[in-house]
């Protein structure tokens, strides 16, 4: 995400970080590039101008120009201003204090509302809630069927109402069902249009009046850039939504919507969609996102993903093996599976500090697949004791996995490297160690 914006901003700031001394002329040159990067990323021009003015006002101060590392000081200022631009402090989803509470999901057709409703239901369930999905979109063909299918996939009940029923009746019926069946939250999927129009707004206002939602989440397609921000402004004039959701952020190389939204509308971003899978939903943290954009990584989110992907019982067994120095290729294969649950190579790489945009492309996703194929081509005995794998066995494993002997040797070397790393974790006594998370402070 944001590859284009990240690359341009980091390139602009590199004009400063390599200098021992800075002048106002140096700073102005870099900020011109920053401004150009923001505008090319489809950031609102007023927002871009205000951002540059704010950075420059701080960056040309004597305490910066005379500091030991003036370039780094400017980067710090840019990061701070970017955090403000993205909304300042995090504004997470508000868990309801009453039960059942209603989360009303609104937006245009094609923004990803229905899929987000399912993702939110899964997010809530992981946090101990009992959600009920409500299909109040009677406008788009098959919208109710889509939500029902997603509900079955998740094991979350869906209230659909009778064919041709009024959306308000469906919404209030869902609330009544939630009360009788003990659900904590009703997630209302409402109808959208191809553009903001009066009938849609009137319908949403009637649902709002009938259900009294504790959250109104506006779903926006981040890849539409300023169009998404304009849609948010239109909604804000009629519907006081509590927060925005940016979908398809994993495919957004520019980032204009995310950077402009809070500044233009005054509304926080609650969630971002980072993939097609139903668990590909992240709460939005301005400080973490600013760090990702500037190539500083996002270690906190990386560790959180690692913790979600790990299994406490398996982690305990792995810890015991580390103590006994009995880490095997079977364990190696299991850890690769856990790593895949954390997201794509590109998503993980974006959270690693210092990894520049585009470098993730060199981390071949197919290498994971090849490694799994090689491990699967080994016998259980070979995975338990790699010392058995001589030259002839390596050739057999290569043939069976459709790879080369060099690939097999690479996997064995990677295993030995991880084994040594695991020994170090075992020595320092990390509780519930998770191989991919432990180096980052778990």
In order, the DSSP letters of 222-284 are GGGTHHHHHHHHHHHHH---SEEEEE-GGG-SS-HHHHHHHHHH-PPEEEEE-SSSTT-EEE-
Q: What is the CATH number of the domain that holds 196?
A: 3.40.50.300
Q: Can you read off the two tokens belonging to residue 271?
A: 């969630």
CB 219 within 8 A of CB 112: yes
User: Quick one: which of 113, 268, 120, 235 has its CA closest to 186?
Assistant: 120
Q: What is the CATH number of the domain that holds 373?
A: 1.10.260.30
CB 93 within 8 A of CB 269: no
In a domain, 96, yes or no: no
Q: Can you read off the two tokens belonging to residue 393?
A: 């066995």
241 and 157 fall within a common domain: yes
In a domain, 156, yes or no: yes
Distance (Å, rounded) from C-alpha 204 to C-alpha 168? 9
Q: Which residue positions in the chain have pLDDT lower than 50?
A: 357-362, 428-442
pLDDT confidence of residue 64: 72
On the CB side of 280, how many CA atoms lie within 13 Å of its CA? 19
Q: What is the CATH number of the domain that holds 38?
A: 1.20.120.140
Number of domains in the chain: 3
User: Quick one: which of 127, 129, 134, 182 has its CA closest to 157?
Assistant: 134
In a domain, 90, yes or no: no
Q: Which domain holds residue 41?
A: 3-85
Distance (Å, rounded) from C-alpha 77 to C-alpha 99? 43
248 and 184 fall within a common domain: yes
Q: At what angle do helices 312-323 and 329-341 cross, to 10 degrees?
A: 140
In a domain, 95, yes or no: no
User: Quick one: which of 120, 87, 93 has its CA closest to 289?
Assistant: 87
In a domain, 297, yes or no: no
pLDDT confidence of residue 315: 56
Domain boundary among 291, 323, 348: 291
75 and 145 fall within a common domain: no
Domain boundary among 85, 118, 136: 85
User: Quick one: which of 253, 241, 176 has its CA closest to 215?
Assistant: 241
Question: How many other C-beta atoms are found inside a 10 Å radius of the C-beta of residue 139?
Answer: 15
Give the rounded distance of the alpha carbon of 199 from its chain centre: 33
Reduced to 3 states (helix: H, G, I; strand: E, B; else coil), residue 131 is strand
275 and 331 fall within a common domain: no
Q: What integer best gives the mean pLDDT of the chain? A: 82
Sign, CA torsion 355/357/363/369:
positive
Q: At what angle do helices 405-428 and 312-323 cross, to 10 degrees?
A: 90
Distance (Å, rounded) from C-alpha 358 to C-alpha 77? 25
Reduced to 3 states (helix: H, G, I; strand: E, B; else coil), residue 217 is strand
Distance (Å, rounded) from C-alpha 103 to C-alpha 110? 20
pLDDT confidence of residue 305: 53
243 and 173 fall within a common domain: yes
Reduced to 3 states (helix: H, G, I; strand: E, B; else coil), residue 2 is coil
139 and 243 fall within a common domain: yes
Distance (Å, rounded) from C-alpha 38 to C-alpha 322? 48
Q: At what angle do helices 113-126 and 143-154 cross, to 10 degrees?
A: 20
Place of tokens 């002048």: 23
In a domain, 151, yes or no: yes
pLDDT confidence of residue 255: 83
Q: Can you read off the two tokens belonging to residue 57?
A: 């006002």
In a domain, 68, yes or no: yes
pLDDT confidence of residue 345: 55
In a domain, 94, yes or no: no
Query: Could you give the residue ranges of the DSSP H alpha helices within 127-218?
Result: 143-154, 167-181, 198-211
136 and 70 fall within a common domain: no
Give the rounded distance of the alpha carbon of 328 from its chain centre: 32
143 and 286 fall within a common domain: yes
Domain boundary among 57, 85, 113: 85
pLDDT confidence of residue 353: 52
At 122, give phi and psi (nearest 5°).
Answer: -65, -40
283 and 323 fall within a common domain: no
What is the tens place of the pLDDT at every residue in 229-247? 999 999 998 888 999 999 9
65 and 110 fall within a common domain: no
pLDDT confidence of residue 428: 46
177 and 261 fall within a common domain: yes
pTM exceeds 0.75 for this model: no
Distances (CA, A) of 31 to 14, 21, 68, 85, 87: 11, 16, 21, 16, 21
Eight-class DSSP state of 139: S
271 and 141 fall within a common domain: yes
Reduced to 3 states (helix: H, G, I; strand: E, B; else coil), residue 188 is strand
């Amino acid at each position: 995400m944001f590859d284009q914006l990240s690359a341009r901003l980091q390139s602009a700031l590199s004009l400063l970080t390599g200098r021992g001394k800075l002048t106002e002329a140096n700073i102005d040159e870099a900020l011109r590039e920053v401004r150009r990067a923001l505008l090319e990323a489809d950031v609102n021009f007023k927002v871009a101008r205000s951002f540059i003015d704010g950075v420059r006002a701080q960056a040309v101060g004597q305490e910066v120009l005379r500091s030991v590392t003036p370039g780094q000081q400017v980067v710090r200022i840019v990061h701070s201003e970017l955090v403000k631009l993205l909304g300042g402090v995090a504004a997470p989803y508000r868990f309801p204090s009453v039960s059942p509470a209603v989360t009303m999901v609104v937006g245009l057709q094609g923004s990803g509302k229905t899929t987000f409703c399912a993702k939110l239901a899964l997010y809530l369930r992981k946090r101990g809630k009992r959600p009920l999905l409500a299909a109040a979109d009677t406008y788009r063909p098959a919208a109710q069927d889509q939500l029902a299918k997603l509900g079955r996939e998740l094991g979350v009940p869906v209230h659909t109402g009778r064919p041709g029923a009024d959306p308000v009746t469906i919404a209030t019926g869902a609330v009544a069902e939630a009360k009788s069946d003990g659900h904590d939250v009703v997630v209302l999927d409402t109808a959208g249009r191809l553009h903001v129009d009066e009938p849609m707004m009137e319908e949403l206002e009637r649902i709002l009046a009938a259900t009294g939602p504790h959250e109104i989440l506006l779903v926006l397609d981040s890849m539409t850039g300023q169009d998404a921000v304009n849609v948010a402004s239109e909604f804000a004039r009629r519907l006081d939504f509590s927060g925005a959701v940016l979908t398809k952020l994993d495919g957004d190389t520019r980032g204009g919507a995310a950077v402009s939204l809070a500044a233009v509308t005054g509304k926080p971003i609650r969630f971002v969609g980072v993939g097609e899978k139903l668990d590909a939903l992240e709460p939005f943290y301005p400080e973490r996102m600013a760090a990702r954009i500037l190539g500083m990584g996002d270690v906190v989110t990386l560790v959180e993903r690692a913790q979600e992907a790990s299994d406490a019982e398996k982690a305990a067994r792995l810890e015991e093996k580390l103590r006994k120095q009995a880490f095997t290729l079977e364990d190696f294969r299991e850890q690769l599976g856990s790593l895949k649950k954390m997201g794509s190579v590109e998503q993980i790489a974006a959270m690693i500090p210092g990894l520049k945009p585009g470098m993730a492309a060199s981390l071949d996703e197919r290498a994971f697949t090849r490694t799994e194929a090689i491990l699967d081509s080994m016998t259980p005995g070979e995975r338990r004791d790699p010392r058995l794998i001589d030259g002839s066995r390596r050739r057999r494993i290569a043939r069976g996995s459709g790879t080369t002997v060099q690939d097999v040797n690479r996997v064995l070397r990677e295993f030995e490297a991880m084994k040594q790393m695991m020994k170090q974790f075992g020595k320092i006594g990390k509780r519930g160690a998770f191989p991919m998370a432990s180096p980052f402070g778990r």
